[in-house]
Structures are given as C-alpha cells and as structure tokens.
Amino acid sequence: MQLEQQNRAKPNSEGWLRVIGLGPGDPALLAPAARAALSEAEDIIGYRTYLQLAGPFRDDQRVHDSDNRVELERARHAFQLAAAGGRVVIVSSGDPGVFAMATAVMEALEQANDPAWGTIDLQIIPGISAAQAAAARIGAPLGHDFCTLSLSDNLKPWSVIARRLQLAAEADLVIALYNPGSHARPHQFNEALALLREHRTPETPVILGRSIGRTDEQVIVTPLAEVDPAQVDMRTVIIIGSSQTRIIEAAAGRRWVYTPRWYPEAG
Amino acid sequence: MQLEQQNRAKPNSEGWLRVIGLGPGDPALLAPAARAALSEAEDIIGYRTYLQLAGPFRDDQRVHDSDNRVELERARHAFQLAAAGGRVVIVSSGDPGVFAMATAVMEALEQANDPAWGTIDLQIIPGISAAQAAAARIGAPLGHDFCTLSLSDNLKPWSVIARRLQLAAEADLVIALYNPGSHARPHQFNEALALLREHRTPETPVILGRSIGRTDEQVIVTPLAEVDPAQVDMRTVIIIGSSQTRIIEAAAGRRWVYTPRWYPEAG
C-alpha cells in the first residue's frame, strides 16, 4: 500500500522534539531552522563537544550533555522530556540523518512502541554533512555518482564493510568514508586502504578533510599511494576519487579537485 | 606529492565568485553563508526556476537567467564577470557540489586554463541536497551506508549507470536516485526499477520525494513492487531502502522510515 505522508502536522501536545544537525561547525552553514529550534528549546540534549558548538545557551534552557557512546539513551531521554510537554532539541554534528542521531531516535521510537511517544511533534532538520563541507572546500569531488560508507565495525561485521568497499570500488564510485577509526584502532582504515589500492591507480586523488569550518580546519590532497593512516582520526572524513576524478592546478598555488559529469564510452 | 590546501585565501582581485546551493527550496534550510553571498552579489547567474526561489533581488543587482541546459556557458559567463572585477554568485538548487553547478564551474576553469580565472577568489558554499531533505521528512533512511546516483545518460553511457546500480544493489546500499528522467523519456527509471527488483524484495521501502520544502511538497512511501514510474519526474528524488531499512507505524497514522546502524552477522 502506498501512503502519502504528512508528518509535519502538529499533533495535540505541547511538547515537541527536533533533531538538528550543526553542519560542519561553522555558524554560517547552520540552517536557520536549526538555529530557531535551538532558540525555542527548553531542553537541549547532545554529546558535549557538539553542545559547545551549538551554544551559548540562556539561563532558562536546560542543557543535558553526555558521552558520545550513549545515543539510544539520549534519544529515549529526549522522548521522555517531550512526552512530558517539553520543547526538546537533540543536537548532532553534520546532518542528523547521516551516521548521526536521527537513526538512534528512530530506533528508540520503534523499540518503545509507546503511543505517547508516537504522537509527539517530531521533526528532523537536515544539515550539511562533513563530506559535503570538505568537498566544497576543494572543488566538486562529489559532483557525480558517489557513496558514503562508515568504517565502524561496532555494530556491523567487518565482512559487510569490506564487501561494500569492494563493490563500491568496482562500481567506480567516488567514496566518502566516515568513522575511519583512531590511532589506537587503525585496522579498519588500513584494511580499507589496502582494498582500495587494488582497484584504483596510485595517482587517484584522495582528500582528507578534518574539522572543516572550524578554526583548526585542514584539507589535504594526496595521491592514494601516499595516504598515511597517521593523518586520519575520528574527526577526518576521507574522499577517494573515482577513475574520472581530476585535479586542476590553478594559478597562485591553488588546486581544485572535481569529478566530471561525463564518462567515457567503454572501449 | 601531498599538499595542504588553503583555497580560502583571498587573492589580489576585487572580483569574486561564489557557487551557492539553495538547499531544497525552503528559506529555513538556506545556509546563512549562501544568503550573505546573494546579498553581496552584483551579478546573479542561474537557471530561472532557481533564481525565482533565490530572489527577490535589489534594483542594483543584475540577474542573468538562463535555460537549464547551458551549465558550462553559465560558468564561463560567471568567470568573465568576476575576472572583470564583479562580485558574482552562481545559484544551484540543493548542494552545488552534488549533480549541480560546482562541477560545471570546475570544468570551465580547467578548460580555460586562464591565470586570470585561476586567481579569482572562488568559493563553493555547500547546501542541503534534495535527498537529505526528503530523508529528513520521513525519518532516517540515509542513516547508514548509502550511495547517490544519477540516472541521466546525457553525458555517460547507460551501461555504466546499469553496472553501478547492479553493484550498489549487490552491496545492499541504500540508493538515492537523481535525474530519473521524465514522462517523455521514461526508459532510465523503468530499467533501473527492473534491475533493482531483481535484487531487493517486493516489500523494500521506497521513498518518492518531490518539491521538498516547497509549497507543493509530496512524500510518498511505497513498497518497491508498487512503484509507478508515472509518479516520478525530474523534480523527484527516489530513495530505495536496503535489506535493513524499516518502516515504523507510529501513532496517529504517521509512518517513519529508517535504516538502522546495526547489521546482522552473516548466517
């Protein structure tokens, strides 16, 4: 059965829940709708690093910070506050719908199966993702077909991740990688690099974007052969070019990277 | 050779060029940086439908509207105006870096190979894409690994598109489809549907998002088996769920669609 959805209708309740994304961290890239939700909120919930980017807050606003690993608890807490009539915002980085809090909110809603939660005025406000922000800084590497993959094997087996990487490489998609692991747990990114090097030439342009839009922003362009895992941590988004991704050496030492719209006919 | 890029440095020229995205069309989702660029611009260039969404403009601003098919000409015109000292904005819908004007700007820059263009203060300002906006309306279907593919075979052979679809389906990625063709040219979407139906179950949730964030917004949730190509046109973004994408039947007739973070171990 097909259904046209009107999830925007405001139900009969005072409380509401907004799941917002801060974008890359630069206020100039924060959606006005997200800014308005932060201003109207009574309760603001999130990982403390993101709350620091989202603030400052007023004395009449309650700020509930937490560790980064308790997404589901944070989501449940938000529903409880909203069901009790609160105006509640959950803060994510980037786009809440891309490897972020909107999924945990959906999981909490489904698991609770509580009509009082189901009738809450819930809105997800999209944001600009880290991959989009890094891409914009350097040109248009995501200008044509691409995929966005998480290397985290906390909640899925590494075999699924490896197979997805393999097929994405065969499909000649540009690949944006999230959650590449840390210096303490480098195995995911090392294995991903080894796999990608089997499918792409050593010269393939790779972009390492870190803290884009923040004061310590860094964008590195490197050939695939020279990527050093020591340059990558959990705040890095990695964009691996396709066979078509090109570098422009412009005037004044500037370089741009983009993926053209055209694709050559198979020989 | 690795290079850290500082493309934000302002070169010695009065003129500048900003490539902005309007997001899905709702001003509440337009980045303040894009709004500021529109306000500071002397010349504003774009497809006329997008210019209508971006305006109104002041009497002292020159608006250059055009047909949608002349991306490269528009990009060249923008460089010429900026090289002559103008403050120029190119308007895209969504994210200019995703199937939009940033790529054409890069192509124009590379082909011209003109130092006067290469030193222009060029910035690409990212935006919220149509797929992200549609996803946010309905939950979090892009909450885990996904790809973004264009079905347009204007500039690449259909065989490349079909192979990418095939591999993305095998990788069990959520698939966001852009440029599905029109009622006059339905073959791309029909062929894509046939291919996807070989790999995904009939119940796979599919989201058809049209004009998200505008007054005629429409979001349809349908099983893959019931997708009707007549429901799809060039303003529709299509999101095909993975094997894990789930529907929540919430209270008050509301439904949400999301893709969980976890993935079952292979049997």
User: Which residue from B97, B155, B222 is facing A136, i.e. has the nearest CB?
Assistant: B97
* Inside any domain, residue A11: no
Residues 17-56 of A with CB under 8 A from B: 23, 26-33, 36
Please give, rounded to a whole number of angstroms, the shortest distance from the CA of A60 to a CA of chain B. 25
- Total domains in chain A come to 2
Q: How far is A251 from chain B (nearest CA, A)?
A: 5
> Collapsing DSSP states into helix, strand and coil, what is residue A153?
coil
Q: CA B121, CA B139: separation in Å to the nearest integer?
A: 38
Q: What is the pLDDT along chain B (267 residues), one digit of tens a residue?
A: 676 766 644 444 589 999 999 999 999 999 999 999 999 999 999 999 899 999 999 999 999 988 767 899 999 999 999 999 999 999 999 999 999 999 999 999 999 989 999 999 999 999 999 999 999 999 999 999 999 999 998 888 999 999 999 999 999 999 999 999 877 778 899 999 999 999 999 999 999 999 888 888 999 999 999 999 999 998 999 999 999 999 999 987 889 999 998 888 754
Find the CB nearest B171 among A148, A163, A265.
Answer: A163
Helix A158-170 / helix A187-199 crossing angle, nearest 10 deg: 30
Residue B30 lies in a domain: yes
A36 SS3 class: helix
Q: Is residue A103 part of a domain?
A: yes
Cα three-residue angle A123-A124-A126, rounded to 5 degrees: 145
B164 CB neighbours in chain A (<8 A) are 145, 171-173
Does B212 reach chain A within 8 Å, measured CB to CB? no
CB-based contact A103 B3, cutoff 8 Å: no
Q: What is the DSSP string of A85-135?
A: T-EEEEEESB-TTSSSHHHHHHHHHHHH--HHHHTSEEEEE----HHHHHH
Chain B CB within 8 Å of residue A72 CB: no
CA–CA separation, B144 and B259 (whole Å): 6
Whichever domain contains B93, its CATH number is: 3.40.1010.10
Kind plus residue range of the DSSP H or E element containing A61: none
A133 pLDDT exceeds 50? yes
- At A9 the pLDDT is 46
Q: How many whole angstroms separate alpha carbon A129 and alpha carbon A25?
A: 10
Closest residue of chain A to B138, computed from CA coordinates: A7
Which residue carries 């719908």 as its tokens?
A: A97
Whole-number Å distance between alpha carbons of A34 and A20: 6
Rama region for A256: left / alpha / beta (φ>0; ψ in -120 to 50; rest): beta
- B150 with B49, same domain? no
By the 10 Å C-beta count (0-12 exposed, 13-18 middle, 19+ buried), A205 is classed as buried
Closest CA to A174 of A148, A139, A192: A148
A251 and A232 within one domain: yes
In a domain, B1, yes or no: no
Do A172 and A247 reside in the same domain of the chain?
A: yes
> In angstroms, rounded to a whole number, what is the distance separating the alpha carbons of residues B157 and B152?
9
Contact B76, B58 (CB under 8 A): no
Q: Distance of alpha carbon B247 from its chain centroid, rounded?
A: 25
The answer to whether residue B37 is domain-embedded is: yes
DSSP state letter for B246: E
List the single best residue of A18, A106, A172, A179 to mutate versus B (max B Cβ within 10 A).
A106
Q: Give the one of B146, B159, B262 whose C-beta lies nearest to A266's C-beta.
A: B159
> What pLDDT, in 10s, does the model give residues B21-59?
999 999 999 999 999 999 999 999 999 989 999 999 999
Predicted ipTM? 0.94
Query: Taking 60 as the threshold, does the pLDDT of residue A61 lie above it?
Result: yes
| Segment A243-257, tens digit of pLDDT | 999 999 998 788 999
Residues of A in contact with B30 (CB under 8 A): 31-32
Tokens of residue B224, six digits:
């893959």
Q: Look at residue B54 and give its three-state secondary structure.
A: helix
- Look at residue A4 and tell me whether its pLDDT is greater than 90: no
Q: Which domain holds residue B90?
A: 16-128
Structure tokens belonging to residue A8: 């925007």
B chain contacts of residue A261, beta-carbon cutoff 8 Å = 99, 103-104, 107, 155-156
Residue A67 sits in the same domain as residue A115: yes
Alpha-carbon radius of gyration of chain A: 20
pLDDT tens for each residue of B232-267 = 998 999 999 999 999 999 987 889 999 998 888 754
- Residue B64 sits in the same domain as residue B91: yes
Cα of A107 vs its chain's centroid, Å = 18
Task: Indicate whether A69 pLDDT > 80.
Answer: no
pLDDT at A10 over 60: no
- Is A9 part of any domain? no
SS3 (DSSP) at A59? coil
Contact B173, B145 (CB under 8 A): yes
Domain end among A82, A113, A128:
A128
User: Which of A111, A128, A145 marks a domain boundary?
Assistant: A128
Same structural domain, A55 and A84 = yes
* Domain containing residue A155: CATH number: 3.30.950.10
Query: How far apart, in whole angstroms, are the C-alpha atoms of residue A87 and residue A70?
Result: 21
Taking the C-alpha atoms of residue B95 and residue B20, their distance in angstroms, rounded to an integer, is 8
Q: According to the model, what pLDDT value does residue A13 have? A: 57
Contact A72, A1 (CB under 8 A): no
- Show which of A128, A152, A172 is a domain's final residue: A128
User: Do residues B168 and A131 make contact, with C-beta atoms less than 8 angstroms apart?
Assistant: no
pLDDT band at A182 (very low <50, low <70, confident <90, very high): confident
Domain-located, residue A253: yes
Q: Which residue has the tokens 């029109």?
A: B182
Cβ of residue B190 closer than 8 Å to a chain A Cβ? no
One domain for residues B75 and B145: no
Statement to judge: residues A210 and A223 lie in one domain: yes
Q: Are residues A100 and A66 in the same domain?
A: yes
B58 and B136 both lie in a single domain: no
Provide the 10 A C-beta neighbour count for residue A162.
Answer: 16
The sign of the dihedral angle between the CA atoms of B100, B103, B106, B111 is negative
A136 in the same domain as A197: yes
How do B62-66 and B3-4 pair as beta strands?
unpaired
CB pairs under 8 A between A and B: 310
Angle between helices A158-170 and B158-170 (to 10 degrees): 180
Instruction: Nearest by CB to A170, from B1, B133, B167: name it.
Output: B167
Q: What are phi and psi of A192, to 5 degrees?
A: -65, -45
Q: What confidence score (pLDDT) does residue A67 get? A: 73
Residues from chain B contacting residue A256 (CB–CB below 8 Å): 7, 106, 109
Task: For residues A90 and A156, state if they share a domain.
Answer: no
Which residues 111-170 in chain B show a CB within 8 A of chain A?
115, 117-119, 123-129, 132-133, 135-150, 155-157, 159-160, 163-164, 167-168, 170
- A21: in domain: yes
Contacts of residue A105, defined as CB under 8 A and 6 or more positions apart, other chains included, come to A17, A19, A75, A78, A79, A90, A122, A124, B140
The answer to whether A128 and B127 are in contact (CB under 8 A) is yes
Q: Which two tokens stand for residue B177?
A: 């489809």
> If pLDDT is split at 50, 70 and 90, which confidence band does A12 have?
very low
